[in-house]
Every structure is written in C-alpha cells, then in structure tokens.
Amino acid sequence: MKATIKDVAKLAGVSFKTVSRVINREPSVGEELQERVWAAIKELNYQPNISARQLRGAASFIAFIYDNPNSHYVIEMQHGLLAECRAQGYELLIHPLAAGSGDTMADLEQLLSTGHIAGLVLTPPFSENPELIAALRERKLPFVRIVSGSSDPAEPEPCIYVDDYQAAFDITDYLAGLGHRRIAFLGGEDIHRSSVERRHGYLAALAEHGIDEDPALIVPGEFNFDSGADRTRRLLAMQPRPTAIFAANDEIAAGALFSARINQVAVPQELSIVGFEDSPFSRQTWPKLTTAHQPNGDIAGSAASHLIASIRASRNGSAASHQDSPDSDASLPDNGFRPQLVVRDSTCPAPQ
C-alpha cells in the first residue's frame, strides 16, 4: 500500500502541516524536525505529490559536474546521487565538462543562470581546483566536493573524501607479501589527485617492505584501456620484467591483461595484475581481477545527502555549512571512505 502524508506525520511524530512545510521547503521548520520528517519519508518510500504551484520559487535541481571517461564510474555515481535526490524530492541534472577546456566557470555560470539549480556535486578534477572552488564560494551556491584524501579538509562546505593513499598502500603491501619485488605502477593523469595519492601509497608500501623505488617501473599515462595496453607492452619488453603490475584503475588493468595475453605472458603465473575500482569488467574478465572496491554509489549518496542538508541549512538562513551545525549531521552518513582490497584470480605469489 502506498504511504500517505499522514503516515509520514505519524512516524515522524509531527503534525500533517509540518510535513507539508518540510516538503515545500518552507524555512520555518527547525533542522532537527526537518531531518526527522525526511527520514520518515525515506523509510516509508513516500512520494510527495509536489505540484508546480507548491514548488514555485524553490530550485529543485541538483547538478552533477564531472569529467570522467569511465562509464562505470559515472553510472554508479549517477545511481547513488539519484537514489538520494529522489528520496528527498530533487531532480538530477548532468553536466559533464572537459577539464582541459579552461572556461569551466563561464560554463557553470551559464548553467546557474537558468535559475533552478539548488546545488552542485563536484567530482575530480573540478572538486580539486582551488580557483573554481573560490569562484563558487563567492557565488554563494551550495556545493559538495568529492576528493581524494586521507582526512576531512574541514572547510565550510561539505566534502566527501576517499582514502586512495591507504587503499594503494594495502594493494602494494599485499603484492609485496606475495614475494613480488619488481612491482610496476601504472598511474592516471596527475590532474586527478587520486592518481597522485595512489602513487604515494604505492611508494610508502615499497619503502615499508625495503624495496627500492625503480623509476623505470613507474610509467606515467592515462586512466584508460589503450594507455594500460601500451605501457604494459613496454614493461614486458624489459629485462628483467616486472612480476606484478598495480594499475591505478580497472581500465588500465584491462589493457594490461590484454597486452599480457597478446604477448603470451600467463596471468597470474608469470605476471600478477591488480586494478582499482571493482568495476563490472573486473568481475567478468578471465582471470577475474584482483582490485580495490571503490563504493561509488555510497560515496555519491553521501555527497547528495550532505549537499541537501547544506541547501536546507542555507535556506533556513543558517550558514550553508555542515561544520557550523554538527547536530544536524548526526543522521548523515559518514563522509570518509576507504576502498577495500578484493583478492580474485589475477594475482599469485611471485615466480621463482
């Protein structure tokens, strides 16, 4: 049976009118009450029947800003954002941008000029661009950043951080524990902080195991299949060859696997390969890839949840900040994530 607004009121322990005020985003309801009502709406999967008239004046679109050619990442992020946006009465608009094009802020201004954007979800590299952040701050539009980092940057705006450093440390530590000493690292574009963090984690684990850094084994490139295939071809021509490859994402790893097959190098017997992300590819290829599980949907859901809390706070007249109102965050999911190692069939002890 479909939940009604009365069911929501009962579960939240508030009046019908309060639920209606919350749904219509009237600023007269306190934050604690608002959170309670939204929690009840989510639990009952109540679909508020919002008419155009009720919504008039309240921007109800959240824009997802990204530049990432990795389909699985983008789709998983979209799904996580959509789940939270829908539950809280927002629609999701997608606005991919080319990070290299330079005119990001001008493009965003145009998007914002439509006048219906309540807030932005920024992913790397935009979320890691100080000029862009400064410009948005000046614009006073709520936004949430998803960044690569080991701790909360503790800025006025909400931020979701993903601990790529530690995850990369864990992967490299695992390979070294299998006896690998010649471990290559295939990174992505350094404009993505995640690539830098993963490289640093890799280097720290090598140091921990007393393995000297070999610059020839750290091959710069891009976060895609072709770059992974290319670089692996070059690595396999080295004497001695590396016995393991840590690819900074699953697409690079897919390319590495492909080149190993073409060169008739057995995976994992002669060459262990680890990816990063836990994309469907990693589970569907043969051998299945050892990788780090990056919970993109949860990361995105948390980002949307923090952003919407921030939008409500700003409409309530309090500072648009999650830092200033710690109480209202009690029900929000955590904002720190650490990708976890998933061991499958593409890794084994180093050959003798």
Closer by beta carbon to a copy of itself, 109 or else 190: 109
Distance (Å, rounded) from C-alpha 234 to C-alpha 80? 38
CA-nearest of 127, 136, 132, 95 to 192 is 127
Counting Cβ atoms within 10 Å, is residue 328 exposed (0-12), middle (13-18) or buried (19+)? buried
Tokens representing 89 are 């009465």
> Segment contacting a copy of itself (CB under 8 A): 23-31, 162-170, 256-264, 337-345?
256-264
> Segment contacting a copy of itself (CB under 8 A): 68-76, 155-163, 183-191, 197-205?
68-76
Position 167 contacts a copy of itself (CB under 8 A): no
Position 150 contacts a copy of itself (CB under 8 A): no
CA-nearest of 123, 121, 108 to 73 is 123
Among 42, 95, 137, 233, binds a copy of itself (CB under 8 A): 95
Among 15, 16, 75, 153, binds a copy of itself (CB under 8 A): 75
Distance (Å, rounded) from C-alpha 223 to C-alpha 221? 7
Position 60 contacts a copy of itself (CB under 8 A): yes
Number of residues forming the site for a copy of itself (CB under 8 A): 44
What one-character DSSP code corresponds to residue 213?
Answer: P
317: left (phi over 0), alpha (psi -120 to 50) or beta: left
What one-character DSSP code corresponds to residue 84?
Answer: H
Position 232 contacts a copy of itself (CB under 8 A): no
Position 308 contacts a copy of itself (CB under 8 A): no
Position 116 contacts a copy of itself (CB under 8 A): yes
Which residues are near a copy of itself by CB under 8 A? 47-52, 55-56, 60-61, 63, 71-72, 74-75, 78-79, 82, 91-96, 106-107, 110-111, 113-116, 225, 254-255, 257-258, 261-262, 280-281, 284-286
